[in-house]
Structure 1
């Protein structure tokens, strides 16, 4: 049965009983058929075309290959073959569902894995005719064609766009005479400019061709591989022989031979409607693939990070793919590409190779490609909130390492070059989603990964991760304490590998550990070092369970105490709830949805990271929301704390206060006192940056320059403020956060942007201070006192002196950084892909040329057909 087959009523025929589907945990819980692959054909491809039917039949042998691969390596995910004719074979088989309009839009030939495997890196000059004859539908088709060509380019390609009439015009004047990397930002920038093109004048192509040749001859910063000029016109009436004699004939072998259609052994296609654009543009990729195909080079490519379209998952993947071509001797010189075969690799699985427990609370591992773009990093934020939904950011897979590790450029340069080494850096970082600045000394270790364009990095923070504490307890003793009801382990960590044997996939990590220790699953592959550390932690922390239970039964437990908890470096946690879900203020704290406060594959819990940087023996307080308060005390290998209602602290101030303000930055509440504290040196202002922010689209909103803060940046601070007579009393955190909470307004569009924002850090050497602030006719007195054994400060201010006219609030809203366009043109250090196939003597054409958008008679010579 063919996908997209219609029944007599015009409805799509559903997959029948001969193709059973079962939900599979390994494939994102999608219903799949692990005994068969199946075929998907996009709606724009006729699924009964003889070429399609023959190619589908010939690809059936892949079904057994896919099944065999999965049986040998059960960790494999999707395996697939994308045909040059447009159909897509995928294993395991799934059900493809058309959209509400009955359209199956997925075309494998548009995917990066297909394009990168089918061609080598390329330098493309797009020439578009904007003379008066191109008015109406023609210029609309031309613009759509340009956009489609741009969509076939990737980060290893370089591009420029030239419009011409009787003069040559670069669509972006700042890119004059050069090539720019075809990354997402530059491609989208070109698309915006192309939309503003208008037709007028008479077309004279000769000067535009000369300019294009000049760029490709003289610019040495592109891909240094394939080169092509794409001409988009409704007719070319000039004789170009003199241009090619000057630039390409007869002995300039170092140049790629450029010509249009048959006069230069080139290639053209005729586009008459918008629907023709996609299919015709894709043809140029197959022509560029000919040298590689004739050489029989099965180059393996690895893609940038992307989100799984098939599974509709928000998890990041990378694809590894290679071309498939015809080996028939009679068609060898034709260089026929049959398609591309590949598989997906979840990047989360790659990062599991660097166990979280070995890296320490601030340590992490990361992965970048040859262009410096991040594939995996704990600070990579590929999603943003659009209302209540999470959506991928437009540039989620083109975030540069320098936009996350922005303190040093040498690290990026060394990794992009594929070097192996280490470097130590003083880092100005932030935690709690950017709200808490901290200073760290990080040791970076990096190396390249053989036969891939990737480089791997690992970070160990000074004082953490270099040494391991190993206890020695028996399995029997540890098992007894592991079964305590208050104990959990990190569900995202790999204590035991459960992916290899399908029979083990049903087990959670905790279940797998218990069964392995009991000897019920001896074939499980487990991390013996991590298990020994976990067993030791279970034994030494076991007395807490009895203590917490006794505390619950005693009268010493004050109302408001909701949760007691302990976290260990092995990912083990003990938790005691003193209040039910209905009565708890922080209902989601330490629940599966509260990723920030749990051990995950990316990070230790936030409270753990804050506690280990805290002064030993001192309690750390911070609010988890507008009503809940956290308190922690750090010890060598763990963090222990309690979570309480803020009302518990409010009682302490009730005698002297009447009003409470929670979650607001003190500088916004009282800018005069905050300014004085900064001047006195009690607090230090720190500049921080967010290169992954989302701002209002200035093209659609009058206030677009003002960035919109996402939910993840809304601040919560511990700040108690009450009034009593003429005195204000407030307590605030020592480490002040970065953003002012505000009510979000729904907007129509957000776009990626860079922002700068301040953070404030407390100087612990200043324990108390007092001063007077002159505010016109009055003087405002204030006193500041550090609260012993905590990260709190008590601020008492005079309430009857209003300084708001002389001292405005200190704004913590991030401000968008505006760049001059020249920055888009500048190229960062990158490493060119090792493989390049730009020429083969048996190929009758090394370049393809033009796209027709309207009629042209045979007398044109160059353009041979039209509407």
Structure 2
């Protein structure tokens, strides 16, 4: 029990503040805008440097130039000499870059396997872009939170900073081509409407049809969520590959693109190819489109009809719709005809004779569509949807900001030459740190979504699945709509407002799940949302009634707070940002507790720390300090301690935890509990511990029992939260959940429970190897349906339950306030038949 005397000295400093949700979400958005604005400035500096470097570079067809090829660096031949394009390239592990081996002093070059790494175009581009090295380093010094910076060339090479050693795939090749990445495609062109028209007449059989299908799929891969598309096949008649999309364009999001690919695989050849009807249908659809960049992609092995009148009727003289043609197969009988179609409609003609030709030839259309941007010198900055960076060997979600690089040479200005795209990555985890958990309450959270309604960051977004021992991205992880996770918003009021970039509020009754959907809580949520200026993103924030409306503030002296904080039984949430350790490289290996200590003792005065969170943490450390003496007294007095106690612990809203172990690790049943790998039961960036969240919803004095899922190696334990503890000061209380871990006997005979504070347990069925508990009433409080696993070993049944309770849930001025701490008990129960 926490003693009242502890609070006498600090009582005058304790106060409660009401949270203004509208102001808080605007403040978060402004901070995010500032962070993203710094990334955009870095990208602009790169674009300017690249264009200036190209302006003063003269192409040299005989240029000989050695560069650091990321596939070959630090490689030697059989005699121990550095191989060509290799050479010594110092690398060292860097915490900031996912602990990869990197070189922060310079960049290196990656070239796809299908591109000759000493082609004159590659050598001249690499030589010209050497000027970016100084800008990369300068950007990183100005903004140490920057991650990867890069330049993707239209010629195919990829300059990456910091430099790394590129790892080929299992076949020994590098399929990565920067020109296929979303950040490159979106920056190189503006949003577009695309109709893909494919010939499925009898002459397209065999390899030709295979090449045509691969060409369609490759075109689809170049589209993003800002583009619109449809696919039409023709022979004797016109057919939409998806009849439901007849006469319209659909958003080219991942789901639709994959759907088209499945339907394209089912195409069969037959009849005679009559392209005229297909072209008419395509122009009619585009006339109803957005009137932005529009194009028809004609995939055929030849055109025999008189199609000129179609262009005269629908496209000439404005030539508003570009027509790109892809001649399939080795024969070139109809090459002049197919080329004429493209050239007279401001398009581009390519001959695709093999599957290997597809990728390079398809990419040409992007350079043509970029010409108006180049000529007008429109440096539009783009932001991508969320994605995982496979090149950086990371499973963290990020977004990229990118910008096109144009040739400014007078002699080629009218040609509209795209040099490439520059960009940088922004980990969404770092962006969400600007909306810290402690300001949002136990059930509160923040989330980001795009102007297309797709989630960038949300606690309910689970982008990974487990295959064996490996984590892999789910197929559609980056095209999850906001309506799919905030499903209580049945009218999509919230989604519509955020897509439009509006600012406002909304209240909803929600059913929130915990323990990966195994438990449900009924909450009243207040939603606050606003746009992040200069980006296509909107920020949403949730405060839960009873927990997010007020914030508890108290002050103690730094000396007293540090004394109670730096105790062996105390820890703080290492995923939270008490102090920013990622700015100075010397701070990156510090834990958050170490950083707090060094900052408050004056050893690292340059650390940037959250003063409000530090005050709250020090306050919690002081007022919970008596628990240490209380738990120690129980340990030293066996008669006063309940049988089987393993661990007692307490958590507070500031992320502070006190843990007292009564049993050594070798005898402990719950070995993984509260370990860093036990994400469900510790404070993380995404959530408070599950025992904290569930206990917070229980009235004071009531017990909560729940069943941990993790393996306990044949023995079971449960968490129990004893009745209400805490101290009130003029109506303000230290609140939370305090926990103990029990390894206690339970004799099961008509389910008789001994040494456990349970008023009533009803068991509906008992099997030989397991017990199914349909309802559990704890101190007359209905918990939920609980599935209790029981294993049979040597005529013993092991039952595992969890018991928790909120500490001092306060009523202040007749308003149920927040829970800022939690206290529970883990109990392992074994029984004899």
**What residue is the counterpart of 1:590 in the other structure?**
674
Kindly provide the CA deviation profile for residues 418-454 of structure 1, in whole angstroms up to 9, marking residues without a partner as x.
0001111111221121111111111111000011000
Pairwise CA distance, 1:310: 2.4
CA–CA distance in structure 2, aligned partners of residues 559 and 637 of structure 1: 28
RMSD of equivalent CA atoms? 3.4
Alignment partner of 2:302 out of 235, 246, 263:
235
The yes-or-no answer on 1:570 pairing with 2:654 is: yes
Alignment partner of 1:473 out of 556, 566, 569:
556
**What residue is the counterpart of 1:516 in the other structure?**
599
Pairwise CA distance, 1:13: 4.7
**What residue is the counterpart of 1:125 in the other structure?**
195
**What residue is the counterpart of 2:686 in the other structure?**
602
The yes-or-no answer on 1:322 pairing with 2:403 is: yes
CA–CA distance in structure 2, aligned partners of residues 607 and 675 of structure 1: 21
**What residue is the counterpart of 1:808 in the other structure?**
none
Closer/same/farther in 2, CA of residues 427 and 657 from structure 1, 3 Å limit: closer
**1:345 aligns to what SS in structure 2?**
strand
Preserved contact between residue 444 and residue 458 of structure 1 (Cα < 8 Å)? yes
CA–CA distance in structure 2, aligned partners of residues 50 and 17 of structure 1: 21
Closer/same/farther in 2, CA of residues 476 and 8 from structure 1, 3 Å limit: closer
After TM superposition, the structure 1 stretch with the greater mean CA deviation from structure 2, 624-633 or 411-420, is 624-633
Preserved contact between residue 622 and residue 718 of structure 1 (Cα < 8 Å)? no
The yes-or-no answer on 1:375 pairing with 2:447 is: no
Alignment partner of 2:206 out of 136, 140, 146:
136
Pairwise CA distance, 1:261: 2.0
The yes-or-no answer on 1:308 pairing with 2:389 is: yes
Preserved contact between residue 649 and residue 824 of structure 2 (Cα < 8 Å)? no
- 1:341-356 pair list within 5 angstroms: 341-356=422-437
- 1:132-211 pair list within 5 angstroms: 132-211=202-281
Preserved contact between residue 367 and residue 455 of structure 1 (Cα < 8 Å)? yes
Closer/same/farther in 2, CA of residues 7 and 501 from structure 1, 3 Å limit: closer
Closer/same/farther in 2, CA of residues 732 and 355 from structure 1, 3 Å limit: closer
CA–CA distance in structure 2, aligned partners of residues 264 and 550 of structure 1: 87
Preserved contact between residue 562 and residue 642 of structure 1 (Cα < 8 Å)? no
CA–CA distance in structure 2, aligned partners of residues 269 and 510 of structure 1: 61
**What residue is the counterpart of 1:822 in the other structure?**
none
Kindly provide the CA deviation profile for residues 398-429 of structure 1, in whole angstroms up to 9, marking residues without a partner as x.
11100000111100100000000111111122
Alignment partner of 1:364 out of 445, 450, 466:
445
The yes-or-no answer on 1:261 pairing with 2:334 is: no
CA–CA distance in structure 1, aligned partners of residues 374 and 320 of structure 2: 21
Pairwise CA distance, 1:496: 0.9
- 1:379-390 pair list within 5 angstroms: 379-390=460-471
Kindly provide the CA deviation profile for residues 172-197 of structure 1, in whole angstroms up to 9, marking residues without a partner as x.
11111111111111111111111111
**1:469 aligns to what SS in structure 2?**
strand
**What residue is the counterpart of 1:631 in the other structure?**
720
After TM superposition, the structure 1 stretch with the greater mean CA deviation from structure 2, 505-514 or 50-59, is 505-514
The yes-or-no answer on 1:642 pairing with 2:712 is: no
Preserved contact between residue 98 and residue 104 of structure 1 (Cα < 8 Å)? yes
Alignment partner of 1:287 out of 355, 368, 381:
368
Preserved contact between residue 586 and residue 624 of structure 1 (Cα < 8 Å)? no
Preserved contact between residue 296 and residue 321 of structure 2 (Cα < 8 Å)? no
Gaps of 5+ in 2: 1-66, 325-339, 727-732, 755-760, 805-822, 826-833
**1:563 aligns to what SS in structure 2?**
strand
Kindly provide the CA deviation profile for residues 234-274 of structure 1, in whole angstroms up to 9, marking residues without a partner as x.
11122211111211223x67666788222334311111111
Q: TM-score, normalised by structure 2?
A: 0.78
Pairwise CA distance, 1:733: 9.0
CA–CA distance in structure 2, aligned partners of residues 653 and 617 of structure 1: 28
Closer/same/farther in 2, CA of residues 552 and 676 from structure 1, 3 Å limit: closer
**1:399 aligns to what SS in structure 2?**
coil
Pairwise CA distance, 1:653: 5.6
**What residue is the counterpart of 1:615 in the other structure?**
699
CA–CA distance in structure 2, aligned partners of residues 569 and 104 of structure 1: 48
**What residue is the counterpart of 1:245 in the other structure?**
312
Pairwise CA distance, 1:295: 0.9
Alignment partner of 1:454 out of 537, 548, 553:
537
Closer/same/farther in 2, CA of residues 10 and 452 from structure 1, 3 Å limit: farther
**What residue is the counterpart of 2:183 in the other structure?**
113
**2:706 aligns to what SS in structure 1?**
strand
Closer/same/farther in 2, CA of residues 668 and 106 from structure 1, 3 Å limit: farther
Kindly provide the CA deviation profile for residues 713-772 of structure 1, in whole angstroms up to 9, marking residues without a partner as x.
xx97447899xxxxx9x999999xxxxxxxxxxxxxxxxxxxxxxxxxxxxxxxxxxxxx
Alignment partner of 2:522 out of 415, 427, 439:
439
Kindly provide the CA deviation profile for residues 356-414 of structure 1, in whole angstroms up to 9, marking residues without a partner as x.
10100000000000111001111110001112211110111111100000111100100
The yes-or-no answer on 1:216 pairing with 2:289 is: no
**What residue is the counterpart of 1:62 in the other structure?**
132
CA–CA distance in structure 2, aligned partners of residues 54 and 328 of structure 1: 15
**1:551 aligns to what SS in structure 2?**
helix
The yes-or-no answer on 1:93 pairing with 2:93 is: no
Pairwise CA distance, 1:101: 2.0
Pairwise CA distance, 1:619: 1.7
Q: TM-score, normalised by structure 1?
A: 0.75
Preserved contact between residue 407 and residue 413 of structure 2 (Cα < 8 Å)? yes
CA–CA distance in structure 1, aligned partners of residues 751 and 448 of structure 2: 55
Higher relative contact order (CA 8 A, sep 6+): 1
**What residue is the counterpart of 2:352 in the other structure?**
271
CA–CA distance in structure 2, aligned partners of residues 196 and 257 of structure 1: 25
**1:323 aligns to what SS in structure 2?**
strand
CA–CA distance in structure 2, aligned partners of residues 206 and 637 of structure 1: 78
Closer/same/farther in 2, CA of residues 152 and 10 from structure 1, 3 Å limit: farther
Closer/same/farther in 2, CA of residues 449 and 23 from structure 1, 3 Å limit: same
Preserved contact between residue 147 and residue 425 of structure 2 (Cα < 8 Å)? yes
**What residue is the counterpart of 1:72 in the other structure?**
142
**What residue is the counterpart of 2:420 in the other structure?**
339
**1:357 aligns to what SS in structure 2?**
helix
- How many pairs are equivalent? 693
Gaps of 5+ in 1: 659-663, 686-714, 723-727, 736-788, 792-867
Preserved contact between residue 326 and residue 335 of structure 1 (Cα < 8 Å)? yes
Closer/same/farther in 2, CA of residues 312 and 224 from structure 1, 3 Å limit: farther
Pairwise CA distance, 1:79: 0.4
**1:619 aligns to what SS in structure 2?**
coil
**What residue is the counterpart of 1:496 in the other structure?**
579
- 1:772-811 pair list within 5 angstroms: none
Closer/same/farther in 2, CA of residues 254 and 266 from structure 1, 3 Å limit: closer
Closer/same/farther in 2, CA of residues 561 and 676 from structure 1, 3 Å limit: closer
